[in-house]
A and B are shown apart, each in its own frame.
Chain A
Amino acid sequence: MIDPENRAPILLEETSTPAIRTLDLAKRYGKITALRGLTMSVPRGEIFGFLGPNGAGKTTAVKLLLGLARPSGGEGWVLSAPLGDLEARRRVGYLPELFRYQEWLTAREVLALHCSLARLPRRRWADEIAGALRLVGLDRRGDSRVSTFSKGMQQRLGLGVALLGSPDLVVLDEPTSALDPVGRVEVRDIIHELKRRGATVFLNSHLLSEVEQVVDRVAVIDHGHVLALSGIADFTADTQTVRVRLTGVTASGSMPVGRFSLTPQADGWWMARGIMRDQAPDLVAALVGLGARVYAVEPGHHTLEERFLQLLKGGEHASGADYRPTDHI
């Protein structure tokens, strides 16, 4: 599918700008505010998770980015061009959450239609279509009509459509909602492959365990504005705990170690709470002083789901994250 010789030359200036940038982007439908002042920046080549509860404004934001709706306020740029720019849209692939394709066409015909709409050179169509079908596991069903496809197969087809022409930016809205576990793993692999070739992936999904495995950074929005925007490692880090795996000490419950307190966990792991990361060497020294053998030390870690729920339920901002609700990252 990737044919570097046929890709339009990209100016250095273009590649140095973010793939997506929004500044106070807002959308109102009558009296309802769907998005209020979305300010964010997605660097090129990054896998970006765009998270939020139902009704948070995620789909509205995606529609604004793709020119499907007009902003009520603010500005935005996609691949260095203002929102809705036709030339920029040549380099964008999109899998909608509500994926529907012409059921009277075959999968191959749907892909050919999108090759035509994407203005790909005719001589590349056959390779693009064959590559897309192979990539999403539909190479044996290319000549079947979409009406005979299961929901999962239609979503695979939609993913193939989104990847036609090796786009620089791929927007995936709930890309695994209809897929079985095998399909989800395949989509993860495809997303990793997109990153390897330098594409930017804008991923919107409620399957947080899936998101956590692929994204570089996440933004969490609610009620139309950004609650947190951070690298995934920082976002899920627990800065108040350190885990250590050790032998040589025995204790039935919590164990005081210097000014710290350790709680036993499974498989030789112990958890120290109320400790800053830069105090970890002090903890290790204290443990060694007690005769313990320390095999591993790692900072505490939340799952993305835990952090997401904390953020939404507690109304807190991501601790340790580079949260800048009104600034560019």
Chain B
Amino acid sequence: MPPVLTIARLTIFEAIRRRVVLTVFILTPIVVGLTGWGFSKLTHLSHNDGAPLSRPEVRLNEAVLLILIAFMFSVVMAIGASFLAAPALANDIESGLLLAMLPRPIRRAEVVLGKWLGLAAPLVIYAFIAGGLELEVVYAVTGYLPPGPAEAIAYIAAQSLVLLTVTLFASTRLAPMASGIIVVVLFGAGWIIGIAQTVGSTFNNHTLANAGTAFSLVFPSDGLWRGAVAALEPAVVLAEGVQYDPLAATGSPTTAYLVWAALWGAGMLAWAIYSFSRREL
């Protein structure tokens, strides 16, 4: 087995043996079940005068609520990616585990790539399993399916990969806690700057808009989240609120942006490899 796959397998094995996978697969159905129950109540909502909500109103509520749940899901994925990646290299360095492994005929690059693969693969698989389960339950309860379900999950998975990669880079030099905190702060900053960008664009404030664009290029986390929002927004949401809602997306990311995000991820991974290769143990 190539060393990259050996390390990836070891990383996945650690997540299983440390009961990370078990915990996630117990909690996920509980959370999905609760949200499904919440969605089932939407169809019975009424106005203050007792009149039931019209079909478009119910659909609007379903769409907005699903976007909020997707945002919660993206936060969970982002924090999960940080929690998994922050100790991945730093802990192995600090504990001395790598002292026994690295004298073997294995390149530092293979360790980093193996760790990345062993964290990225379960993360993406989980995104599609949990995201798909949520959408299935919502569809079963309400009959509502957003316009781009697979696309939305793919954007959220891609966002978590961005956070995973940057955390792994930080893990080559910093203690696990520092790496995790930095990346969660970057994630939050990206989100709030993305909102500022939408506000700037809506009200023709070029400074805010340009700052948002610049940050989405420097750290392509919120840009990908906006892609997920765009894939989850049905026409009714766009018609009702997009002009005034800073949380909404005006459209999918361009192909150029997606290519940039992919290159950014590859570059960050290459930087992580370089950083770890230069690290003295």
A-to-B contact residues, CB < 8 Å: 29, 63, 66-70, 86-87, 89-90, 92, 94-96, 98-102, 104-105, 113-114, 116-119, 158, 161, 171
Contact = CB atoms under 8 A, between A and B. Distances in A.
Contact of B99 (A68, A70, A118): A68
A101 B98 CA distance: 9
A226 B97 CA distance: 30
A105 B17 contact: yes
Given A105-B17, A116-B1, A67 B97 contact: no
Given A68-B281, A105-B13, A98 B105 contact: no
Interface of B: 1, 3, 6, 10, 13-14, 17-18, 95-97, 99-107, 280-281
A102 B106 CA distance: 18
Q: Which 4 A-B pairs have the closest CB atoms?
A: A104-B17, A117-B104, A98-B96, A66-B103
Best-buried of B3, B6, B17, B105 by chain A (most CB within 10 Å): B105
B112 to A, nearest CB: 15
B105 A68 contact: no
Contacts of B14: 102, 104
Contacts of A98: 96, 99
A98 B1 CA distance: 28
A92 B100 contact: no
Nearest to B110: A117
A99 B100 contact: yes
24 contacts: A29-B280, A63-B281, A68-B99, A68-B103, A68-B281, A86-B107, A89-B103, A89-B105, A94-B103, A96-B96, A100-B97, A100-B100, A101-B97, A104-B17, A113-B10, A114-B100, A114-B101, A116-B3, A116-B6, A117-B3, A117-B6, A118-B105, A119-B105, A161-B100
Most buried by B among A94, A102, A105, A161: A102
B102 A68 contact: yes
A66 B103 CA distance: 6
Contacts of B107: 86
Given A69-B280, A96-B99, A104-B14, 4 more contacts: A68-B102, A90-B105, A117-B6, A117-B101
Nearest to B7: A117
Nearest to B99: A96
A117 B105 contact: yes
B6 A113 contact: yes
A100 B93 CA distance: 11
Contacts of A104: 13-14, 17-18
Contacts of B13: 104-105
Nearest to B6: A116
Contacts of B105: 86-87, 89-90, 117-119
Contacts of A117: 3, 6, 101, 104-106
B104 A118 contact: yes
